[in-house]
Structure 1
Amino acid sequence: MFEIILVSACLCGINCKYNGLNNFKKPILELVKEGNAMLVCPEQLGGLETPRPPSEIVNGTGKEVLFGNAKVLSNEGIDVSKQFIKGANEVLNLAKLTNTELVILKSKSPSCGIGKIYDGTFNGILKEGNGVTAELLIQNGFKVINEDEFGGV
């Protein structure tokens, strides 16, 4: 079992999702109750309010956002790339400070998505790629999974 785990706060019932709700998953909350997990919300750590307009990565993935070749835009057309990058860096700092061995993030999110994220059209269509935070953590050698993969760890 892993010692320190970072977890998307929305997965534990914290109402930090863009619409002010959460993505509660009881097995992940149990990690917190056992004292093995620390909650993070990259979007809030980056300075975004809750609730906030939904955002998606346009013309790329988290990797391209980190390199300045794509943007995270709200459905109102507001560029929130800076906040997403700041939040990703804050989560990376926490991961390093706590010697995190595993990070469990929310699937499909422009911050936390792993493997598949929304395509930037706000039509519920997925594309291959990682969110900004997931990509930064992976680039820095952290093991990152989504809530659906958690059962297999």
Structure 2
Amino acid sequence: MFKVLVSSCLLGEPVRYDGKSKGVSHQILDKWQSQGRIVSFCPEVAGGLPTPRPAAEISHSGRVLTIDSIDVTDAFLLGAQKALSLCLKNKIKFAILKEGSPSCGRNEIYDGSHQNRKISGMGLTAELLERNGIKVFSEFQIEVMDLIVNKSS
């Protein structure tokens, strides 16, 4: 039985930087949850960051900086490494991560200016997982992922 790593905030857990969640209601997620396939994970919390915490973005230098220019890259890298370890331990090949996040963004992230501008790019966790053969999807790609999973099983 395949397992799926899912950003905790998408499952309704209040772990985002603002202390809120971004819960997604989707019948495929509901089915996988009832089948015990979902592994909930927040790389930022796993990396040691508190909730709530200052908003952070990946800067042009590749460092993750808060809105107050505090470098939190090490916490983001630690969370990404813990996500990869969890996936490897549980033989997880697929992940659904929160789009736009400096950890989890799959297709877009904020541009590092803290001016609410998005650019094409990946968060640190999403990038590490992809580099290690774990297919990452955003919450807007659940149906696509379901098709791929069903095709390969």
Counterpart position of 2:150: none
TM-score with structure 1 length normalisation?
0.90
Note the alpha carbon deviations across 1:90-129, whole angstroms, 9 max, x for none: 0000000000021000001000001210001111111111
- How far apart, in 2, do the equivalents of 1:86 and 1:128 lie? 23
Identity across matched positions, percent: 40
Asked whether the 8 Å contact 1:113–1:146 carries over to 2, the reply is: yes
Find 1:107's aligned residue among 99, 102, 112: 99
Counterpart position of 2:19: 20
- How far apart, in 1, do the equivalents of 2:35 and 2:24 lie? 15
TM-score with structure 2 length normalisation?
0.90
Q: Which amino acid aligns with 1:105?
A: L
- How far apart, in 2, do the equivalents of 1:152 and 1:115 lie? 14
Coordinate RMSD, CA, aligned: 1.2
Counterpart position of 1:93: 85
Listed as ranges, the gaps of 5+ residues in structure 2 are 146-153
Q: Which amino acid aligns with 1:107?
A: E
Asked whether the 8 Å contact 2:93–2:133 carries over to 1, the reply is: no
Counterpart position of 1:63: none
Paired residues, number: 143
Asked if 1:134 corresponds to 2:126, the answer is yes
Deviation at 1:76, TM superposition (A): 1.1
Counterpart position of 2:44: 43
Structure 1 runs of 4+ with >6 Å offset: none
Higher mean alpha-carbon deviation, 26-35 vs 41-50, is at 26-35
Asked whether the 8 Å contact 1:8–1:104 carries over to 2, the reply is: yes
Higher mean alpha-carbon deviation, 43-52 vs 123-132, is at 123-132
- How far apart, in 2, do the equivalents of 1:143 and 1:151 lie? 14
Deviation at 1:18, TM superposition (A): 0.5
Higher mean alpha-carbon deviation, 108-117 vs 28-37, is at 28-37
Deviation at 1:29, TM superposition (A): 4.8
